[in-house]
Copies of this chain bind each other. A is one copy, B any other.
Amino acid sequence: MSVEANESRGPVRRVTAAEVAQGAGVSRSAVSRAFTPGSYLDADKRTRILKVAEQLGYRPNRLAAGLQGRGRSNLVAVLVGQLANHFDSDFQAILLEGLAAMGKWPLVILAAPEMIEEDILGVLGFPLDALILRGGSVGAPVVDYCSKLGIPLVVSGRVMDLPGVDSVCGDNIGGAEAAVGALIARGRRQIGYLGGPADLFSDAERRAGFHSAIAQAGLLPAATCSADYSFEGGYAAVAGLLGQAPALDGLFCGNDAMAMGAMAALREIHGRAVPEDISVVGFDDISIACWPGIALSTVRNDARATVAEILSLLASRLAEPQRPGRVVRIPAPFIARNSH
């Protein structure tokens, strides 16, 4: 039987509960009960069943079990952006850990730029416990289908103010204001903003926070530009910023990688000492930021707190599907190190 199955084409057929039942001389129900905590089953019979199951290599088929009654699949789709973004890879690890602790299985979908909507909709064929949106961008059809399919949608890193959609987002504005405040407290007056891609939610809020803090202090922005949130983007952008404001003495960057690139360019190409001649501040507090030699002053985008909120919102949504959507903001404190 087993030998025969292994020689066939297509998926190898798994051992079924019926085969275990035959081997142990019990009913198939008894096999099911042996794998269902809290079921009534004679202890000796249970031992016999588990032994045969292990010999035959039987495990209940989660697909079949998930189909039945009011069970949950426990599958959670997570749409992530480019993991080359260091904040996102740190974030994902914490999220995966949290989901595992909840007994959820994460289906991770990488939102590549060329990915079309139909590819994303494809995952909705699984009866997901939730869709967590961390990266990429989704349009109305995905939101609509989630609603119709009863799949909870939790958004991270931006706010999607729609009925039944939950969002968790760092306080970008407050964090940016704190960062610029620290530059001003250092006596910096020619302060620039090196931003991320202009179409991103995070950039819009961090840029707004920059402008608000500058205005609050009665200053004008010395220089602004956009790059792609990468080290290389930050490195290359410094020339343009210095062209706009040769006397630039403070730079707030929309994320840490760009801040590191900018620091490198300032030191290596433009002969500026950081922080003596010019202060540089980043955003996110990625794991590299605290490395000696980098010691970047930055704003903490608290991945742990964000994940905790996501999971809390998810649990709450599963318990109460009709609950109104919530928006949770995570404080984004300034972290002082040596770059400013």
Contacts and interface: CB of A to CB of B under 8 A. Distances in A.
Interface of A: 5-7, 10-15, 56-57, 59-67, 70-73, 75, 82-84, 86, 89-90, 92-93, 96-97, 100, 105-110, 112, 115, 119, 121, 123-127, 129, 144-145, 147-150, 231, 235, 260-261, 264-265, 267-268, 287-288, 291-293, 321-322
A86 to B, nearest CB: 8
Given A57-B145, A57-B147, A291-B264, A108 B126 contact: no
A110 B99 CA distance: 10
A279 B61 CA distance: 55
Query: Which 8 A/B pairs are nearest by Cβ-Cβ distance?
Result: A57-B148, A12-B150, A89-B89, A62-B125, A83-B93, A96-B110, A264-B293, A10-B70
A139 to B, nearest CB: 15
Contacts of A105: 107, 109, 123, 126
B264 A11 contact: no
B288 A268 contact: no
Contact of A235 (B97, B115, B292): B292
A108 B110 contact: no
Nearest to A83: B93
Contact of A96 (B96, B108, B260): B108
Contacts of A90: 83-84
B127 A7 contact: no
Nearest to A112: B97
A7 B323 CA distance: 11
9 contacts: A10-B72, A11-B71, A11-B129, A15-B148, A57-B147, A59-B149, A96-B110, A260-B291, A268-B293
A124 B15 CA distance: 13
A260 to B, nearest CB: 8
A267 B293 contact: yes
B148 A62 contact: no
Nearest to A110: B96
Given A106-B107, A108-B108, A110-B97, A11 B126 contact: no
B123 A100 contact: no
Contacts of A56: 148
A218 to B, nearest CB: 36
Nearest to A287: B84
A96 B109 CA distance: 7
Contacts of A288: 231, 288
Contact of A11 (B7, B70, B86, B93): B70
Given A56-B148, A63-B127, A96-B108, 12 more contacts: A62-B126, A83-B83, A83-B92, A84-B89, A93-B110, A96-B109, A97-B110, A100-B119, A105-B107, A106-B109, A231-B288, A260-B291
A203 B287 CA distance: 24
